[in-house]
Structure 1
Amino acid sequence: MTSRDRILNFFRQHPGQFVSGQDISDQLNISRAAVWKQVKSLREIGFHIESKHSAGYRLVDTPDLLLAADLKQNLDIRLIGRSILTFKEIDSTNTRARQLGHDGAEEGTVVIADRQLSGRGRMGRSWVSPAGVNLYCSILLRPQIPVQQAPQLTFLSAVSVAETLHEFCGLSAGVKWPNDVLVNGFKIAGLLNEMDAETELIRFVVLGMGINLNISAEQLPERQLYPATSVALLTGQPVDRLGFARALLQRLDGYYQEFLEQGFAPIRKRWEALCGILNQRVRVEQGTMTLEGTVVGLDSDGALRVQSEDGNIQRILTGDIRPL
């Protein structure tokens, strides 16, 4: 933990109370000058800290920020979230997680940003990422699995997000192949998983997630198919971003452990239960090629199984799915 994190925790251990700079200095073993510097830093990022002569400092109000120290506090995980890096502004959490992967960062490292300048979605599409409203999160994993099984982790992410939206926010979220989460036909979250591998060796996988929590209608991009929405727009209430992020990390961690121990089958079963187009007719668009058929589930590697009118099963690995 940084000195700033430690001072913030100290304030929270003394709610509503003034604590002297000398007490903070003595308890945390840092200089009085360092205390003043970190209090100034906390004020700059939005914390309301009152100071009073001969009494010291008191934390009055806390901004809606996702800070590593808060996220890690009492986080019940085994792997995902042991290391958390948070940024006020970043190009892309996936880009930073990939850099960390190349630099040897430990498995389970989490990168979270309050704002992304170059958020990315599938097929190079941009992801609108304004500050202070959503959750932009990427997780670095180093699974010892065959390269062809890496796409299965996309479905682990989708199930985790959809179930967290249901349990934490009370929304009946569903999943859309391969990497979207929907509520009542509106897109509320997108996933972008990326892999770094050589032949049959996976160096690392990055699970990227963008989840619309408190974004307003004016901030959302226009979409003709599956218009975007947010939890706040659907429920009329703002979401506790910190609580949601913690709940999501714990669910991801549990499902990842299950995946390593039991394989893809449990995740596939959960995903199919959440899939709103299972047993429905769809059109699959693959560039200039299209096909129509009925969705009958996922294959063991995560390919979408679509049955054509002649009864043949087509394995879909890429493409956009549109219900008929």
Structure 2
Amino acid sequence: MSTRESILALFEEHKGVFFSGEEIAAKLSVSRAAVWKAVNSLRKDGYEITAVSNKGYCLSAETDILSAQGIRKYLIPLCGFLNLNVLPEVESTNGLLREWADAGKPEGSVVIANLQTKGRGRFGRSFHSPADTGIYLSILLRPEQAEPTQASKITTIAAVAACEAVELVSNRRAQIKWVNDIYLDDRKISGILTEASVSMETGSVEYVILGIGMNIYVPEEGFPEEIRESAGAIFDKKQNDGKNHLAAEFLNRFLSIYQGIKREDYVEEYRRRSLVVGREIIIFSPKGERKAVATGVDEDCHLLVQYEDGSTDRLSSGEIHVRLF
């Protein structure tokens, strides 16, 4: 760990507390000049660090910048194996992690970005990923002997984890629009994209990349016109460490379910948070559009629907539209 990273970890663990340059230098076994240089580097990246004579340096408690050090302080022991990589900008966190997966990176490799220039959503769509207002996170998973149908459950596990994390940090109730969107007050604040690599020889899953994007704040210029009526944000004003806390709580909850803790009740939680059950929906498929009523969610998180002619179906994937207002 570099001097800069070590100082940031110290500041993140003790926000609002002053440390003298001499004290920091002694703790890290570096020179005071190295401390000064590292502090200035952090300031250039936007960290609000106060310097006061006879008191030293202090990281403002109101700082809300993504960092591996800031996230790690909130992680539970179960997540200790994660390799967190927080980057200022990438084309796509899923795309970069796919490169790493093909190069042999282990399960638990995580890429988190402050900005995506080519963020991806489902069905080849783009995902709006502006700087400083969101969390764009992907994690590499290597489930043992998993079939593609089993790997698809990762999306629904992530949806439950995202709702629980959002609710804990914001104290606002989050819901799931089948199959992969998270809503607050009938506005989309998060989307999930799960991609898998399947062995042509065995048909089993080699790895899964789980990607999630969350709108933490509304961008200064607002959302793009095409999503302005449907998009929302988790917070309406700047939070003290909101991004780091939310990213960590998502990882805590996702891995708790993924590794078998509380797995037996996540399906019921998915059902309980459904935004569509009991509502009229439109189902989009290659054959066209079809109206139906969402009647429930089964044990595999497939959507149960009833069409206008009385026939029923069990959807394992696809896209639906529901009128929310």
Query: Which ranges of structure 2 fall in alignment gaps of 5 or more residues?
Result: none
The residue identity in structure 2 corresponding to 1:4 is R
Please say which of residues 244-253 and 116-125 is displaced more in the overlay.
244-253
- Find the aligned partners of 2:80 and 2:93 in 1 and give their Cα distance: 15
User: Is this contact kept in 2: 1:175–1:181, CA < 8 A?
Assistant: yes
- Counterpart CA distance in 2 for 1:92 and 1:297 is 34
Match of 1:230 in 2: 233
Q: Is the 8 A contact 2:222 2:228 kept in 1?
A: no
**Which residue in 1 is equivalent to 2:175?**
174
Distance 2:318 2:228 in 1: 14
Kindly indicate whether the alpha-carbon contact (under 8 Å) linking 2:93 and 2:138 is maintained by their aligned counterparts in 1: yes
Q: Cα distance, 1:154 vs. partner?
A: 0.6
Give the stretch that moved more between structures: 23-32 or 203-212.
23-32
Output the CA distance in 1 between the equivalents of 2:232 and 2:127.
13
Distance across 2 between alignment mates of 1:316 and 1:2: 50
> What CA distance in whole angstroms lies between the structure 2 residues aligned with 1:91 and 1:176?
26
Separation in 2 of the partners of 1:79 and 1:222?
38
Give the structure 1 partner of residue 268 of structure 2. 269
Change (3 A) 1:31 1:152: same
Check whether the contact 1:80–1:252 (CA below 8 A) recurs between aligned residues.
no
* 1:162-241 to 2 correspondences below 5 Å: 162-199=163-200, 200-216=203-219, 218-223=221-226, 227-232=230-235, 236-239=236-239, 240-241=242-243
What is the rounded CA distance, in whole Å, between the counterparts of 1:96 and 1:251 in structure 2?
24
Equivalences, count = 316
Task: Identify the residue that residue 254 of structure 2 maps to in structure 1.
Answer: 252
Could you tell me how far 1:268 is from its partner in structure 2? Answer: 2.4
Distance 1:295 1:14 in 2: 47
Which secondary structure state, in structure 1, belongs to the residue aligned with residue 260 of structure 2? helix
What does residue 129 of structure 2 align with? Answer: 129
Match of 2:283, as an amino acid? V
Distance 2:293 2:193 in 1: 25
Deviation at 1:276, TM superposition (A): 2.1
Please state how far the C-alpha of 1:204 moved relative to its aligned partner. Answer: 1.2
Q: For 1:41-90, what per-residue CA distance to the aligned partner results, in whole angstroms no more than 9, with x for missing partners?
A: 2122123445689x695135374211101211252141476211101111
Q: How far apart, in 1, do the equivalents of 2:35 and 2:238 lie?
A: 33
Query: Where does residue 291 of structure 1 map in the other structure?
Result: 290
> How far does residue 284 in structure 1 lie from its aligned partner after superposition?
0.6
Higher relative contact order (CA 8 A, sep 6+): 2
Query: What percentage of aligned pairs have identical amino acids?
Result: 31
Q: CA deviation at 1:103?
A: 2.2
What's the RMSD between the two structures over aligned residues? 2.9
Amino acid paired to 1:99: E
Aligned-partner residue type, residue 320 of structure 1: E
Distance 1:80 1:191, change over 3 A: farther
Deviation at 1:201, TM superposition (A): 2.4
Give the equivalent residue in structure 2 for 1:303.
302
Q: CA deviation at 1:280?
A: 3.0
CA distance in 1, matches of 2:280, 2:77: 40
Deviations 1:7-54 (A, max 9, x none): 223455595435235x5444323456644442332122123445689x
Supply the AA of the counterpart residue of 1:29.
Answer: S
> Quick check: 1:112 aligned with 2:115?
no
The answer (yes or no) to whether the contact 2:283–2:289 under 8 Å persists in 1 is yes
C-alpha contact (below 8 Å) 1:158/1:180 kept by paired residues? yes
Residue pair 2:74, 2:249 contacting (<8 A) in 1 also? no
Please give the secondary structure, in 1, of the residue aligned with 2:8.
helix
1:286 counterpart letter in structure 2: S
Note the 1:53-68 alignment, pairs <5 A.
Answer: 57-61=56-60, 63-68=63-68
> What residue ranges of structure 1 are gaps of 5+ in the alignment?
none
Q: TM-score, normalised to structure 2's length?
A: 0.85
**C-alpha displacement of 1:153:** 0.7
| Distance in 2, Cα, partners of 1:217 & 1:309 | 44
2: CA distance between counterparts of 1:226 and 1:77? 40
Give the equivalent residue in structure 1 for 2:97: 97
Summarize the Cα distance change of 1:41–1:297 in structure 2 as closer, same or farther, 3 Å threshold: same
Which residue is 1:157 aligned to? 158
CA contact (8 A) 1:80 1:253 kept: no
Paired position in structure 2 for 1:4: 4
Structure 1 Cα separation of the partners of residues 294 and 80 of structure 2:
33
TM-score (norm 1): 0.85
Partner secondary structure for residue 7 of structure 1:
helix
